[in-house]
Amino acid sequence: MVEKLVDFWKACCYISAGMIYLKDNPLLRTPLKSEHIKNRLLGHWGASPALSFVYVHANRVINKYNLNAIFIAGPGHGAPGVIAPVYLEGTLSEYYPEFTQDEEGMKKLFKYFSFPGGFGSHCTPELPGSIQEGGELGYSLSHAYGAIFDNPKLLAVTVIGDGEAETGPLAASWHSNKFLNPARDGAVLPVLSLNGYKINNPTVLARIEEAELLNLFKGYGYDPIIVDGTDDYVESHQKMAEAMDKSVERIINIWSDAKEKIQRPILPMIILRSPKGWTAPKIVKDHYIEGYWRSHQVPLSDVKENTENLVILQQWLMSYEPNKLFDQSGKLRKDLLELIPPDNLKMSKNPISNGGLIRIPLKLPQLKEFSIDPQQQKYHENTRPLGDYLRKIIDLNPNNFRVFGPDETKSNRLDAIFAHGKAWNARIFPVDSDEGYLSAFGRVMEILSEHTIEGWLEGYLLTGRHGFLNTYEGFAPIISSMVNQFGKWIDISSDISWRMPVSSLNLLLTSVVWRQDHNGFTHQDPGFITSIVDKWPNVVRVYFPPDANTLLATTWHCLQTTNRINIIVADKQKHPQYLNIDEAIKNVIKGIGIWNFASNHPQEEPDVVVASCGDIPTKEAIAAVKIVKDFFPELRIRFVNVINLFALTPSGEHPDGLTDREFDSYFTTDKPVIFNFHGYPWLIHRLTYRRKNHDNIHVRGYRENRKYGIDSTALSPFLKGRGGITTPMQLSILNQTDRFSIAIDIIDRVERISQKAGYARDLIRNAQIEALQYAYEHGVDKPDLCD
């Protein structure tokens, strides 16, 4: 048995090396020649042998224990080490028929690896069985946990590179085990691939004492087993087989024990200490290759031109004895085929890794039940009804919907969902039942690592489930890079015929930039939106629901979509309420609407358009229109509210973009437009610069280059509006998004009222100064300016 494992693994290594080097003569039937070598040598060898090693052993335990398993490759740069077994077990040929199980298919596989149009050097979405690419490092373990949540008896064999292990997101995600409930979740088997090197440096974990290494993982709550991969391949495989058996049996016991009693599982983990670039030549021209960072990419680079190196490559490749591994046709030796799990157990074909296949649409309750009546409840916390709605969704979908947050769910006023408990499988004290409760069966996932919750959610979605993540807007940029990488995965997946659409990534950004009264400047950042709008139009959506009902309707809409990233920006505080639920749904679906109740003479052609996007800017813009109406009752003001940011984009650039004709019907082609925006004002210009009326669009929004208008006094030489504390009205005035500034903007831009403008402007400025003074003296806003 062990000999077979060794041979299967050698076959993987041979295929991996072949992918990096060969465009012809795949089975080395003739001596290796320069023309067999690829024109450009690309790919990563270093992590590949260990990945195949783990894959082969995962297959062994799948067969032995009849396991439902998936494979997650943290060191995605070692794609050859995963593509090889996926090819050898036949799956690649099923999905891509040209890669047949023979010499010709192998040749194509070799040639098209890391070749334009071929497989990439990471575990890209094109690779069957993959749910994590590993291009950007740090997310393998949180993806793995996300995958096994609510997937009882699923094992995620998760290889973590020792380079990846140095990243913050990975370092934090080990603690995911405190959120795992073996009675309803599967398990992760982490395999730390401790090969000692990154691109050009040793890894930290490879250079500390073994006792420290073991302590670290015990401290993380795992039971580590060290396996040494050495030159003695048979012994190495023997040791790994023992460690895998021990680990799997432990996990099976944990699952079984969980029927009796739920307790935090101490999961086994394997530390696979093997040389980087294992099985490559050890030393070439006085340079270390195997066991050194030089094997990270292409261990021997100058082989096409350099005959000496070509010979070394030939010897290296022949060391795997391809003639013994493959039959005459190029198919894997028959007795090795028995190491391959049956079709229904192959990791590369596990439908869980193509989550859209098994995705069940969410059961959604009627919105009406949760909506508010804006006539009755003129002010409301916008996120509260959403909390009730989400609670009900959890009711209806007890196994495939979770809500995620970095311990801000209550702060974000979504705590109605605590009725379903907060997931927690570490120690619980009696005091924990004082408002909200902790439970191993809780459905709300909270840990103070935005990276970990985002990773969990991604893993959960990619395996066919649904989720919702809430976070402070100001800290969303912490995960902008992760969200981007997820978007890339989704964008590519959308074009792969066999990848079925998965549920969208829904992110609620709340506790927004405009309401950071005591948190101040560090908590103010509307930049996440800016970083996402440039991305894939088929994937990205951004919504700014202005009140509670539009937030409900937006969420209802988003939860039904697939293969998207839906960003919803909505504040948690009390705000005026405008639309009943039916109007809300219409506005959300159109993405934009004319609000007659906030307009003046709405039936007539407007003199000026006042537009808003975002809850707080909408409130101020409406108040501004009221102010202007008092002075100029005859003025025709159209009020436009934008919920779907991409409605502004030309229709040729985004599926949700309005046609020019539609856009003009809202914003006119020649009238002044005052646009009050939640984020950076330039973003509106970037979206609308091609529109006919663009030159007339005047945008207010959050700006970083303002200076506070009031001079600092002797009392407060450090008085600054931005760095420290502001009232909401101070912050608005600072940014000229307040009702007074917008009113003046309107007046300034409507020529025909210029005679009366001076008078009105002066009174409005006085009111603005009064508002500032009040806040300055009392530390709060004048009551009539509050929500």
Q: Say whether residue 589 binds a copy of itself (CB under 8 A).
A: no
Nearer to a copy of itself, 256 or 522 (CB): 522
Q: Say whether residue 214 binds a copy of itself (CB under 8 A).
A: yes
CB of residue 328 to a copy of itself, shortest distance in Å = 25
CB of residue 619 to a copy of itself, shortest distance in Å = 20
CB of residue 145 to a copy of itself, shortest distance in Å = 14
Nearer to a copy of itself, 344 or 429 (CB): 429
Nearer to a copy of itself, 618 or 727 (CB): 727
Using the contact rule CB under 8 A, the part of the chain among 132-140, 150-158, 371-379, 612-620 near a copy of itself is: 132-140
Calculate the alpha carbon distances from 734 to 574, 700, 726, 727, 782 in Å. Answer: 21, 11, 10, 11, 16
Coil, strand or helix at 297: coil
Nearer to a copy of itself, 175 or 671 (CB): 175
Backbone angles phi, psi at 516, to 5 degrees: -120, 50
List 438, 579, 733, 785, residue binding a copy of itself (CB under 8 A): 438
Nearer to a copy of itself, 639 or 740 (CB): 740
Nearer to a copy of itself, 60 or 413 (CB): 413
CA distance 320 to 279: 9
List 378, 574, 590, 720, residue binding a copy of itself (CB under 8 A): 720
754 by Cβ neighbours in 10 Å (0-12 / 13-18 / 19+) ranks as: exposed
CA distance 439 to 417: 13
CB of residue 28 to a copy of itself, shortest distance in Å = 21
Using the contact rule CB under 8 A, the part of the chain among 202-210, 243-251, 589-597, 761-769 near a copy of itself is: 202-210
Q: Say whether residue 475 binds a copy of itself (CB under 8 A).
A: yes
- The letter for the amino acid at 741 is S
- The residue to which tokens 């990945």 are assigned: 51
User: Residue 326, by phi and psi: left (phi above 0), alpha (psi -120 to 50) or beta?
Assistant: beta
Site string for a copy of itself, 662-701 (x = CB under 8 A): ------------------x-xx-xx--x----x-------
Q: Say whether residue 361 binds a copy of itself (CB under 8 A).
A: no
Calculate the alpha carbon distances from 640 to 403, 607, 752 in Å. Answer: 33, 13, 22
CB of residue 128 to a copy of itself, shortest distance in Å = 11
List 146, 436, 545, 546, residue binding a copy of itself (CB under 8 A): 436
Q: Say whether residue 46 binds a copy of itself (CB under 8 A).
A: no
Which DSSP letter does residue 481 get?
A: H
CA distance 712 to 730: 14
List 305, 344, 375, 717, residue binding a copy of itself (CB under 8 A): 717
CB of residue 234 to a copy of itself, shortest distance in Å = 26
- The letter for the amino acid at 369 is E
- Map the footprint of a copy of itself across residues 542-571, applying CB under 8 A: none
What is the greatest pairwise CA distance in the chain?
Answer: 96
- Map the footprint of a copy of itself across residues 512-541, applying CB under 8 A: 517-523, 525, 527, 530-531, 534-538
CB of residue 420 to a copy of itself, shortest distance in Å = 15
Enclosing H/E stretch for 239: helix 233-257
CB of residue 119 to a copy of itself, shortest distance in Å = 7
- Map the footprint of a copy of itself across residues 133-192, applying CB under 8 A: 133, 135-138, 163-164, 166-173, 175, 178
Which DSSP letter does residue 364 get?
A: -
CB of residue 348 to a copy of itself, shortest distance in Å = 15
- Map the footprint of a copy of itself across residues 228-257, applying CB under 8 A: none
CB of residue 172 to a copy of itself, shortest distance in Å = 4
What residues have CB less than 8 Å from 534, skipping those under 6 apart? Answer: none
CA distance 226 to 735: 58
Using the contact rule CB under 8 A, the part of the chain among 129-137, 335-343, 583-591, 756-764 near a copy of itself is: 129-137
Rg (Cα) of the chain, in Å, rounded?
30
List 30, 39, 344, 376, residue binding a copy of itself (CB under 8 A): 39
Using the contact rule CB under 8 A, the part of the chain among 210-218, 310-318, 354-362, 545-553 near a copy of itself is: 210-218
Instruction: Determine how many CB atoms are found less than 10 A away from the CB of residue 702.
Output: 25
CA distance 769 to 746: 19
Task: Check if the beta carbon of residue 467 is closer than 8 Å to that of residue 357.
Answer: no
Length of the chain in terms of residues written: 787
Smallest CA-to-CA distance from 650 within 696, 681, 686 is with 686
Q: How many chain residues are in contact with a copy of itself, going by CB under 8 A? A: 150
What residues have CB less than 8 Å from 380, skipping those under 6 apart? Answer: 372, 547, 548, 574, 575, 577
Smallest CA-to-CA distance from 338 within 71, 60, 49, 3 is with 60
Nearer to a copy of itself, 239 or 488 (CB): 488
Using the contact rule CB under 8 A, the part of the chain among 231-239, 268-276, 342-350, 719-727 near a copy of itself is: 719-727
Tokens, residue 707: 């200076």
Task: Check if the beta carbon of residue 294 is closer than 8 Å to that of residue 287.
Answer: yes
Using the contact rule CB under 8 A, the part of the chain among 209-217, 316-324, 338-346, 552-560 near a copy of itself is: 209-217
CB of residue 400 to a copy of itself, shortest distance in Å = 24
CA distance 782 to 730: 11
- Map the footprint of a copy of itself across residues 756-775, applying CB under 8 A: 775
Q: Say whether residue 716 binds a copy of itself (CB under 8 A).
A: yes
- Map the footprint of a copy of itself across residues 302-341, applying CB under 8 A: none
- Map the footprint of a copy of itself across residues 269-308, applying CB under 8 A: 287-288, 291-292, 294
Site string for a copy of itself, 439-468 (x = CB under 8 A): -------xxxxxxx----------------
CA distance 510 to 527: 13
Instruction: Determine how many CB atoms are found less than 10 A away from the CB of residue 661.
Output: 8
